[in-house]
Each structure stands twice: as C-alpha cells, then as structure tokens.
C-alpha cells in the first residue's frame, strides 16, 4: 500500500503542469460539446464584503480557463497534501509491523517497541496468545 500511495502521489504531481491542464480542459470542452451540454461559463460575480477585501475589490476570474485553472491546481495540491498526511511513511510502517506480527505469530523487536506504547496491551500475553493461535491454525489446516 505504501508503494501504491507513492505511485499515485507521483502521478498527481506530474499532472501539475500547464500542458496537462490545457489538455484536460480541451477534452472537457470537447466532451461537453459532443454530449450537447451547455458551454462552460463563469459563476456569477458576488460582491465580497468589505471586511474581507478592505477598500479593494475582490478577485474575479476574467476567463473560464483562468477560473478552472485555479480550481484544478487547488484540487491537485489538496489531494497530494492529504495523501502525504494520510499515508505517511511512518504511519504505514507502524501498521506494517503490527500486521506482520499478527500474521506471522511472532513479535519482532520493532513491533514490540510499538506495542509497548499501548498501555492496554500486555506484550508478553500477546506473544503467548499469538503462539497458541498460530499452533491452533496449523493443526486445524
């Protein structure tokens, strides 16, 4: 899973280019035309309260391309950031160590160090239970 998340992250970073956006935008416009959908248009301008903008006017996109370019890059940046937070290498390594301990029936030193951080888990009891469980499974098969 760690490899899959890093591959997806690399692909998303590769999409953050002007050429990729232009290619996607042209495909979307062509698909909308082929499906006889309404043309893309800017959302209506809303007056932003002065407390947010001060004496200046709020920013409004001048073209459809500019408007969707901002949305496109926001989407990619947010997605990459969330993937880095959710699939951080340290977190997945912790889960990988715990998974290995549960599947193999033996607790490595790294997994034991992780398990000791959970006060509700008695590592010595867990080792004994995993040993009994793995013997039961092997006898059952």
Higher pLDDT, 73 or 114: 73
- pTM of the predicted structure, to 2 decimals: 0.60
- Residues 92 and 2 sit within 8 Å (Cβ to Cβ): yes
SS (H, E, C) the chain: CHHHHHHHHHHHHHCCCHHHHHHHHHHHHHHHHHCCCCCCCCCCCCCCCHHHHCCCCCCCCCCHHHHHHHHHHHHHHHHHHHHHHHCCHHHHHHHHHHHHHHHHCCCCHHHHHHHCCCCCCCHHHHHHHHHHHHHHHHHHC
Give the model's confidence band at 89: pLDDT under 50 very low, under 70 low, under 90 confident, else very high: low
**Tell me: the pLDDT tens digits for 6-37?**
888 889 999 999 999 999 999 999 999 999 99
Round to whole Å and give the CA distance between 1 and 114: 20
Q: What is the mean pLDDT of residues 124-128?
A: 87
More confident residue, 17 or 100: 17
| Residue 2 or residue 19, greater confidence | 19
In this prediction, residue 76 carries a pLDDT of 95
pLDDT higher at 117 or 59: 117
Instruction: Name the residue among 56, 57, 29, 61 with its Cα closest to residue 44.
Output: 61
């Amino acid at each position: 899973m760690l490899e899959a998340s890093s591959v997806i992250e690399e692909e998303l970073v590769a999409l953050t280019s002007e050429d990729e956006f232009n290619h996607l935008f042209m495909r979307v416009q062509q698909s909308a035309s082929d499906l006889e959908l309404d043309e893309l248009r800017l959302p209506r301008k809303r007056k932003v309260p002065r407390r947010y903008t001060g004496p200046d006017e709020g920013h409004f996109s001048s073209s459809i391309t500019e408007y969707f370019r901002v949305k496109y890059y926001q989407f990619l940046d947010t997605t990459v950031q969330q993937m880095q937070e959710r699939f951080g290498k340290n977190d997945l390594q912790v889960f990988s160590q715990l998974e290995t301990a549960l599947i193999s029936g033996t607790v490595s030193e790294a997994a034991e160090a992780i398990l000791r951080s959970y006060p509700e888990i008695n590592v010595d009891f867990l080792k004994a239970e995993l040993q009994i469980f793995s013997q039961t499974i092997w006898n059952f098969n």
